Every structure is written in C-alpha cells, then in structure tokens.
Amino acid sequence: MQLSHARSASRDTAGRPQAAGVPGTLPEWDLSDLYASSADPALETDLARAEADAKAFHAALAGRLPGISGDDLAEAIRRYEAIEEVLGRVMSFASLSFATDAQDPANGRFLQTMQERVTAISSNLLFFTLELNKLEEADLEAKLRSPALERFRPFLRDLRVFRPHQLSDEVERLLHEKEVTGRAAWNRLFDETVAAMEVKVGGEVLNVSGALNKLSDPDRAVRQAAAKGVSAAFGEKARLFTLITNTLAKDKEIVDGWRKYPRPGSSRNRANMVEDEVVDALVTAVIESFPSLSHRYYAMKARWLGLPKLQHWDRNAPLPDEDSSDIPWDAARDRVLSAYSGFSPELGRIGREFFEKPWIDAVLRPGKASGAFAHPTVPSAHPYLLLNYHGKARDVMTLAHELGHGVHQVLASGHGYLMSGTPLTLAETASVFGEMLTFRAVLDAETDPKRRRALLAGKVEDMLNTVVRQIAFYRFETLLHDARRKGELSREEIGALWMQVQTESLGPAFEFTPDYEIYWSYIPHFVHTPFYVYAYAFGDCLVNALYGVFQEGSVPDFQNKYMDLLRAGGTLRHKELLAPFGLDASDPAFWHKGLNVISGFIDELERADG
C-alpha cells in the first residue's frame, strides 16, 4: 500500500478549550528549512529529480522483485525511501503553508498543485509496495537473511499487515491517482470553508477558533452567546457539511468493501498496528466507566457553578476558584521545559530547541488552522508545532502536549523516513506524558487548597476531554458509518446520533438545547482521519498506567527505558514497547488501570467537596 506523503500531523481536537486574550509576543514558524517559498527554485529541482528517479526506479525494478537478492532488495528500499522523503518534504511544506493561512487562495492552489504533482510522481513507485506484498513468505524470509535487508524488517512487517486487503495493481493505481479529486478534494473544501467562516458573538465577529475559545469564558452570558453563534454559523453551512460527511462515509464504505475490511474502523486499526479486539476492549472499558467518570464529575461541577443543570456551553466553564489570569508565553515555556528537564535532561534539551529555533507558530491570526498539531515533516529536517495560544492554563497543557509530539518525532527520526513514524495509538504517548509531567509539577508547587482543587478539576476535565469525549466521538463515527450503509443521512439524522452519544457520555447533569445538534460538523477528525479519535483515549489510558509505574518506582531505570520507547519510533509494536514496564494493552485490566487514575482524581475532588 502507498504511503501518505503529507506525513500525519498529530492533531489536537477542538475539545481542548482555550480562552480569549493574547499575552505578549508569540512565536511564528519559519518554513525555510523546508523551502524558502512556493517559488523557491529548489522546490522545482527536487520535484524534477524525484520524477526522474521514480521513473528510473520503475524501469529498473517493476516485475523483478522475486528474482533479486536480499542485498539488492535492501538497496531498492533505500532508493524508494530517498524518493519518498523528497515527496514528503514537498507535501510537508505545502500543507504547513496552507495551515498558516487557509484563506489565502494562493496557498490552496499551491497545496492542490503539489498534491497533483506528487501523486503523479508517486504513481511510478506504487508497484513497489504492491510487489513487496506479493512476495511469498518463504521467499521474503530467505531474502531477510541479508543483514542489510534485516534493518527494514519493521517496514516490511507493517506493510504486509495490509496484504490481505490489497487489490489488483490497476485498481490500486486508480485509487491512488483519483485521491486528489476524491477524499483530498473534500478535505480541502472542508478546511477552506471553516477557515473562511465568521461567527457572531455578541458585538464581535470572530473566526471559528476564536468563537470556540469563548466557550471557556468566565461569563456564562458570553459562553451562551458563543455557543449560539457557533450553532448559527455551522447551521448555515449544514447542507454542505452534511454532503461532505455523507460523501466521505460512502467513499469509505466503497473502498472498505473492495478491500474486505470487516468493519469501518478496521482499516484505521491496521494502520495503527493494533488489533480490533484491543480497541474494543478500550472502548468497552470507557463506556462502562461513563457513570463513574464524566457523570460523577459533571454533577459536582453543576453544584460548584450553582446550576440545576449544565448546558453544553457550561462544559468547559472555568471554576469559581480557577485562576483566569493570562500566562505570558515565556512563562508557559519555562513551566513546560522545567517539567521536561526535571524528568530527563535530554527531554528538556530537545524540547528547548523548539523554542530557540523558529519551529513553533503560536500567533492568533485569520485563516490559520484551528486547534493545535505537531507535524514531523521529514527526518532530514525537523518537526513544526502549530498552536493558537490564548494564554490560559489549558494553553500551557496544549503546549506541553504538542512539544511531547515534537520531541518524540525528533528522537524517532534516526530510523529514517519509512520507520520513524509512530502508529497513532503510540503517537500520543509522549504528548500525554509531557502533559502529565507539567501538570504534576504545577500541582505539587501549589499550596492553596482552593487553587489546588481548581488545578485538579482542570486536569480531570482535560482527561475527560481526552478519554470520554474521544470515545464518544468514536462511537458517533461508528453509528454514523453503520447508518450510512443503509442510505444517505439527513442533517437531522446525523444530529440525532450526535445527541445520543453526547447524552450517554456526559450524563444527567446536562440538559442539551436543540442547537447543539449541529456541533458534530466542526470536528475536523471526522473529515480528515476517520476513526482517529480513539487514539487519544488509548494514549491517555496508556500514559496513566505508565505514569503509575513511574510513581510506584517499580521499574528500575524508568527514564532511560522511557526514552528508548520514544526512540523506537515505528520499529516496535505496543506489546514490545510496554513489556519493559510490565504492561500489556491486550489485557482488559490494563485499561481499567488507566481509567482508575481519572477516577482517583475525582475521588480526591469529592473528598475536598465534602
């Protein structure tokens, strides 16, 4: 199966609320380490060289893999990797340029043009992964006696996971070449539509990111106005978002049917190198824990806010004792780096490099991608982080989260373009662990009981957003894709599924107004990366279990073993990575171990509340 040249950015969800206010000077990234601009001569030179190399690669090797030696196959993989990395560099630059300002038509045209050119070039490479998967096991094992080829065993292992779902060469090429006018085009339409939207909140006109940030304003009237504004803005576009959702769900159904995936989430699980049964165990454990987690916590929050029922615009309301003062960027940086360095000097050193060099874009501006993400780009360059920094405590946690991704990507880059990428289920490990390190450092330094309670409650809310909310998203996607197989869904039918899972997951403390039915439409993951969202819950529960082992002190040399886990990149599976810590994600008890950490925090809040 072909690789994605626009390496997956680890996107934060819109579930991470951030309040308004822009403190101090914020950093902007400089993409010139990739290319100086879209007119950079080096860009055209790289594309021309990649095209020539890809054609030569096809001419030399197409149809000949069974007859070559292990050493020659290793050399072929190195050639393939070198071409892929050039194409990955081009697409990283194009996608990051688009994320910088999606409202600029030139950025949209540039991204589309690069997608088309890269797709055309990579069509010459498509045969290679298809033919690798056609090799018989005995033949491949014989070739793997070559030490040079043995290095690429993890790449071949992960590639062959898709062997049962591979189609004929002609169909694979058709799907590959039509991607630019299929899913990718619908993704672009969604992004450009959301980037251009204006949301009226009281007397202000905001972009979507700014309006969503108002949902954590201390003033309930402001939160309500923001909620109504978001509902109205997305309601006006409901027909378009309903069409996009129906089209992409049907497109996935068709492709999954041809590839014989047993259910809609199976292809994502294969890409994550995790078994369907492991994901089922996670989802079941979280759903069973809704009453003891979210239902219990939000009942407390309603009491704290003095409300008989919470509305959806109260979910991220700050608590009465919460410190709502602005946190300058430099202070946020110092908090995160201090926590990282306290755990591991190497972790802190790599993290500091992101601040010393222009690798972060935190400025608020029209047209910029909402939320936050870390983009690995290519091993010959470095990752970039995108945030929308509003100066609140949760923004500091978002910074800690994305920096974790960035450090992880740096540590794994030594494995090269084909094997440095980490499956989504493990990609959240360093980010959530970085958040936990930062949170514990801040909490341990706080002595005031009321502010300590507010910090703890804020952490619980972040964990509920990461675990309960994301599993609710996953359940929504599952219900939607299953329903779409029976026919096109109306806006009302999609809204009903959304309200069902929100009611189940958030519990009786909430009273949902009808306008909340449209809120499914602003979640980019449903469009860009179907069934991605459970990876957040996977990562959070995994880190909770991992951090518990760290606190217990039961694993000698924990820090070095943790750094080795990050350095492994995509070369090891979750069983191998967790074994040194005595953990096993295939054991259902593992997930309850992680969920019990959240439950324990809620227990502590209940004791303080009593």
Kindly state whether residue 25 falls inside one of the protein's structural domains: no
The Cα diameter of the chain in Å comes to 75
**Does pLDDT of 118 surpass 50?**
yes
The mean pLDDT of 495-517, rounded to a whole number, is 97
Distance between CA 340 and CA 351 in Å, rounded?
A: 8
Looking at residue 323, its pLDDT comes to: 73
- Domain end point (choices 132, 161, 190): 161
Residue whose pair of structure tokens reads 């449209």 in the numeric block: 518
Residue whose pair of structure tokens reads 């591991």 in the numeric block: 344
Beta bridge pairs of residue 536: none
**Does pLDDT of 6 surpass 50?**
no
Task: Count the alpha carbons within 13 Å of 538 in the hemisphere toward its beta carbon.
Answer: 26
Residue 15: pLDDT band by 50, 70, 90 thresholds?
very low
**Does pLDDT of 268 surpass 50?**
yes
Tens of pLDDT, residues 66-108: 999 999 999 999 999 999 999 999 999 999 999 999 989 999 9
Mean pLDDT of the residues in the chain: 92
Looking at residue 24, its pLDDT comes to: 58
Distance between CA 127 and CA 486 in Å, rounded?
A: 35
Looking at residue 394, its pLDDT comes to: 84
The mean pLDDT of 382-398, rounded to a whole number, is 93
**581: Cα separation from own chain's centroid:** 25
Task: Count structural domains, the chain.
Answer: 2
Q: Mention every residue, 6+ apart, whose C-beta is less than 8 A from residue 243.
A: none
Distance between CA 365 and CA 387 in Å, rounded?
A: 11
Cα angle value 366/43/12 (rounded, 5°): 40
Give me the sign of the Cα torsion angle 442, 444, 445, 447. Answer: positive
Contact 82, 57 (CB under 8 A): no
Kindly state whether residue 582 falls inside one of the protein's structural domains: no
The mean pLDDT of 442-469, rounded to a whole number, is 90
User: Cα torsion at 318, 319, 322, 325 (round to 10°)?
Assistant: 30
Looking at residue 9, its pLDDT comes to: 55
Distance between CA 149 and CA 156 in Å, rounded?
A: 10
CATH code of the domain in which 131 resides = 1.20.140.70
Distances from the Cα of 480 to the Cα of 151, 505, 537, angstroms: 42, 16, 20
Beta bridge pairs of residue 205: 200
Kindly state whether residue 96 falls inside one of the protein's structural domains: yes
Residue 424: pLDDT band by 50, 70, 90 thresholds?
confident
**Residue 394 belongs to what domain range?**
329-464+538-566
Q: Can you give the pTM of this predicted structure?
A: 0.81
Contact 532, 581 (CB under 8 A): no
pLDDT above 70 as % of the chain: 96
- Other CB atoms within 10 Å distance of the CB of residue 452: 18
**Does pLDDT of 371 surpass 50?**
yes
Tens of pLDDT, residues 541-599: 999 999 989 989 999 999 999 999 999 999 998 889 999 999 988 887 889 889 999 99
CA-closest candidate to residue 369, choices 386, 385, 394, 382? 386
Tens of pLDDT, residues 312-334: 999 999 888 777 788 999 999 99
**Does pLDDT of 410 surpass 70?**
yes
- Domain end point (choices 161, 183, 205): 161
**Does pLDDT of 343 surpass 60?**
yes
Looking at residue 601, its pLDDT comes to: 93
Kindly state whether residue 157 falls inside one of the protein's structural domains: yes
What's the per-residue H, E or C state across 265-278? CHHHHHHCCCCHHH
Strand arrangement, sheet containing 373-375: 10-11, 373-375, 384-386, 360-361
Ramachandran assignment for 556, one of left (phi > 0), alpha (psi -120 to 50 degrees), beta (any other): beta
Give me the sign of the Cα torsion angle 183, 5, 11, 478. Answer: positive
Tens of pLDDT, residues 197-214: 999 999 999 999 899 989
**Per DSSP, which regions of 266-420 are E strands?**
360-361, 373-375, 384-386
Contact 389, 59 (CB under 8 A): no
- Domain end point (choices 136, 161, 186): 161
Kindly state whether residue 368 falls inside one of the protein's structural domains: yes
Give start and end residues of each alpha helix (H) in 446-519.
449-466, 468-484, 491-506
Residue whose pair of structure tokens reads 């602005």 in the numeric block: 326
**Does pLDDT of 610 surpass 80?**
no
Kindly state whether residue 313 falls inside one of the protein's structural domains: no
Looking at residue 14, its pLDDT comes to: 37
Distance between CA 328 and CA 244 in Å, rounded?
A: 39
Distance between CA 125 and CA 142 in Å, rounded?
A: 24
Tens of pLDDT, residues 211-266: 998 999 999 999 999 999 999 999 999 999 999 999 999 999 999 999 999 999 99
SS3 199: strand
**Lowest mean pLDDT across 14-28, 51-65, 133-147, 594-608:** 14-28
**Does pLDDT of 273 surpass 90?**
no
Contact 396, 402 (CB under 8 A): no
- Buried residues in 359-379 as b, exposed as e (16+ CB within 10 A): bbbbbbeebbbbbbbbbbbbb
> Position 223: which residue type?
R
Kindly state whether residue 550 falls inside one of the protein's structural domains: yes
Kindly state whether residue 282 falls inside one of the protein's structural domains: no
Looking at residue 608, its pLDDT comes to: 82
> Position 48: which residue type?
A
**Does pLDDT of 116 surpass 70?**
yes
